[in-house]
A = this chain, B = another copy of it.
Amino acid sequence: MKEIFVSDLLRRVGNATTIELHGWIASKRCQGKVIFLDVCDSTGKIQVVISGNDVPSRMFDSVKHWPVESGVTVHGALVHSPKGQPELHAIDITLVGGVTKEFSPHPRSQIDIFDEGLIPHLLTNRHMYIRNPKVMAILQFRDCLMHYMRTWFHSNRYTSIEAPILTPVPLYDDGTAMPITVHDEKVYLTQCVGYYLEAAVHAFERVFNIGPSFRGEEGRSKRHLMEYWHIKAEVAWCNLDDIIASVENIVSYLTKKCTEEQGLTIHAALGTNLCTDGLVTPYPRISYEDAIRLLSCKGIQTEFGKSLSSDCEAELSKHFPGRPFWVTGIPRTIEPFPYVIDPDDARITRVADLIASNGYGELLGTAEKISDIQMLDERLRDKNKGGDARFEFVRDVHQVGCIPHAAFGMGVERMVRWMLNIPHVRDCIPFPRTFKRSITP
């Protein structure tokens, strides 16, 4: 098993002999009797110097012909150059993984992964370009974000409840979900695990689920995937203000921890700084009604009761420069049934959406959930689901000790995209499933 990583060598102060390093050739230069290789692994890259004086001439001649991307094992001495740069002086090098197929550009080379002309090739060959240092930096960041998300849940008494993917009940209308027939039964791939967390919240009080969610409807914007990772949480004895405060706490915490841990790496790999707009809480709020009034003053007309478009969100974000902001009081016409109707204004729900700074659009939603069976039945009828037997289990939960509870849901890829200033959510997941492209690999 591999024991020494490039990052260990880069951190090492003194020189050392008998180093064994496994890695891949990222680039190569031959200068007479010396070959310089950049050998990389998951933690970085280091220069390997192969001198005709130090290795057998047969080995030296072989290395000349090894293509970049080859997997190699190097034995040698760690030496610091006069400038203090660590490099590995090889005494032996073995070809472990050869190259029998050419990918151009080379997967590990410095390329613009956001170049629209290159993107179809990169996506078709994602299984190769996942080796690219920029792709890797994004996915390492994603891993870091999910790690701290779980750390937050763990230190705040939340229990993980892995809810099922196969479900008879979508959150929105059946036509918006992805159907599947399982042993002659027509069900759906989960659109939202809220129904299951709601059942569980009456036991565990604070629950979360991090898992895949699916959309059947096409959504060709830069923040929609067919299959994405969804963080959902539900909290008992909690109202809308409480859940908003929790989410602000989370976003601020994630911003802080991810910046500390990944800021330099991201800057080195992508040349950009992390977005730290989420650091300072609380975030400003604007009601949906005020938002459409404000947009109207700017010449953008939105009918009360319709969703705010991406353009509307981008325009609103100019009103709150450098800050994410809440849109509160979303109309009942556009929200699904489980959310509380505002007691003071029956046109709207106790739902607030968090909109990213810099025009990145909706990041996540929070809601007070219905605990009263009468209100639930009214809302089921509102959405033409009254009498639909599939929702009886949701009604059951509301008939036995159902107490005030609230929820939030955020897409992992949207959060990564916003914090890294990345054009499209497809770059924020290892193997994206988009609407335009077939599912392959």
Residues of A within 8 A of B (CB): 1-2, 5, 22, 24-25, 41-42, 69-71, 96-101, 103, 107, 125-128, 130-132, 135-136, 139-140, 143, 146-147, 150, 154, 157, 159-169, 178, 180, 182-183, 185, 187, 189, 195-196, 199-200, 202-206, 211-212, 214, 226-227, 229, 235-239, 242, 245-246, 371, 373, 390, 393-394, 396-397, 399-404, 429-431, 433, 435, 438-441
What chain B residues lie within 8 Å of A429 (beta carbons)?
Answer: 162
Q: Give the distance in Å from the alpha carbon of A394 to the alpha carbon of B128 in the complex.
A: 10
Contact of A103 among B71, B178, B400, B404 (CB under 8 A): B400
Assess A99 versus B400: contact at CB under 8 Å? Given A1-B242, A182-B226, A212-B211. yes
The distance from the CB of A10 to the nearest CB of chain B, in whole angstroms, is 15
Asked whether, in the complex, the Cβ of A127 is within 8 Å of the Cβ of B393, the reply is yes
Asked whether, in the complex, the Cβ of B404 is within 8 Å of the Cβ of A96, the reply is yes
Asked whether, in the complex, the Cβ of B127 is within 8 Å of the Cβ of A441, the reply is no
Q: Give the distance in Å from the alpha carbon of A1 to the alpha carbon of B406 in the complex.
A: 10
Question: Taking CB as reference atom, which chain B residue is nearest A125?
Answer: B396
**Oligomeric state, in copies:** 2
Asked whether, in the complex, the Cβ of B204 is within 8 Å of the Cβ of A1, the reply is no
Asked whether, in the complex, the Cβ of A204 is within 8 Å of the Cβ of B136, the reply is yes
Question: Taking CB as reference atom, which chain B residue is nearest A201?
Answer: B42
What chain B residues lie within 8 Å of A178 (beta carbons)?
Answer: 180, 182
Please indicate which of the listed interface residues A5, A157, A235, A441 has the most CB atoms of chain B within 10 Å of its own CB. Answer: A441
Asked whether, in the complex, the Cβ of A440 is within 8 Å of the Cβ of B401, the reply is no
Asked whether, in the complex, the Cβ of B205 is within 8 Å of the Cβ of A396, the reply is no
Asked whether, in the complex, the Cβ of B100 is within 8 Å of the Cβ of A237, the reply is no
Assess A161 versus B139: contact at CB under 8 Å? Given A69-B400, A402-B71, A430-B200. yes
What chain B residues lie within 8 Å of A401 (beta carbons)?
Answer: 24-25, 69-71, 97-99
Asked whether, in the complex, the Cβ of A2 is within 8 Å of the Cβ of B164, the reply is no
Q: Give the distance in Å from the alpha carbon of A199 to the alpha carbon of B159 in the complex.
A: 32
Asked whether, in the complex, the Cβ of B237 is within 8 Å of the Cβ of A1, the reply is yes
Known A22-B237, A101-B396, A161-B430; 19 more pairs at CB < 8 Å: A5-B205, A22-B236, A24-B202, A70-B401, A97-B371, A98-B401, A99-B399, A101-B399, A128-B400, A130-B203, A139-B204, A162-B229, A164-B431, A166-B227, A167-B441, A168-B440, A178-B182, A185-B439, A393-B441
Q: List 24 A-B contacts (CB under 8 A).
A: A2-B236, A2-B237, A22-B236, A22-B237, A24-B401, A97-B371, A97-B401, A98-B401, A100-B400, A126-B199, A128-B397, A131-B203, A132-B203, A164-B212, A164-B439, A165-B165, A168-B439, A178-B182, A185-B439, A196-B430, A196-B441, A390-B441, A393-B440, A394-B441
Question: Taking CB as reference atom, which chain B residue is nearest A178?
Answer: B182
